[in-house]
Amino acid sequence: MKAILLALLTLLPIGLVEAQTPALRLTPDQVSRIGKRIWANECGGTVEGLTSWNKGEDFASLGIGHFIWYPKGKEGPFEESFPSLVRYLQGRRFPLPAWLPKTADCPWQTRDAFLRDARGVMQTDLRKMLSSSVREQTEFIMLRLQNALPKMLSAAGRAKRSGVESNFNYLLGTPEGTYAMIDYVNFKGEGTNPSERYRGEGWGLLQVLIEMPTAGKSTPAVAFGDAAKRVLTRRVQNSPPERGEQRWLPGWHNRCNGYKGRL
- CA distances (Å), 15 to each of 5, 12, 18, 20, 101, in order? 19, 8, 5, 9, 22
22 pLDDT band, cuts 50/70/90, is low
Q: What percent of the chain lies above the pLDDT cut of 90?
A: 80
Cβ–Cβ < 8 Å for 114, 53? yes
Q: What is the mean pLDDT of residues 63-67?
A: 96
Q: What is the mean pLDDT of residues 178-188?
A: 94
Q: What is the reported pLDDT for 222?
A: 93
Strands 24-26 and 67-69: unpaired
Q: What angle do CA 22, 136, 174 make, to 5 degrees?
A: 35
**149 membership: H or E segment, kind and range:** helix 148-156
pLDDT of residue 8 exceeding 80, the answer is no
Amino acid, single-letter form, for residue 196: E
Q: What is the reported pLDDT for 215?
A: 59
106: β partners: 71
Condensed to tens digits (0 to 9), the pLDDT of residues 185-217 reads 999 999 999 989 999 999 999 999 999 986 555
148 pLDDT band, cuts 50/70/90, is very high
Q: What is the reported pLDDT for 260?
A: 87
Domain residue ranges in the chain:
19-137, 148-260
Q: What is the reported pLDDT for 217?
A: 59
pLDDT of residue 5 exceeding 50, the answer is no
pLDDT of residue 102 exceeding 80, the answer is yes
Distance of CA 190 to the CA centre of its chain: 9
Q: What is the mean pLDDT of residues 9-33?
A: 61
pLDDT of residue 261 exceeding 90, the answer is no
218 pLDDT band, cuts 50/70/90, is confident
- CA distances (Å), 110 to each of 13, 58, 84, 113, in order? 34, 7, 21, 5
pLDDT of residue 9 exceeding 80, the answer is no
pLDDT of residue 2 exceeding 70, the answer is no
Q: What is the reported pLDDT for 1?
A: 39
Residue 2 CB partners (closer than 8 Å, separation 6+):
27
Q: What is the reported pLDDT for 77?
A: 78
φ, ψ at 93 (rounded to 5°): 60, 35
Q: What angle do CA 64, 55, 51 make, to 5 degrees?
A: 30
Burial class (CB in 10 A: 0-12, 13-18, 19+), 11: middle
pTM above 0.85, yes or no: no
Q: What is the reported pLDDT for 75?
A: 81
pLDDT of residue 76 exceeding 80, the answer is no
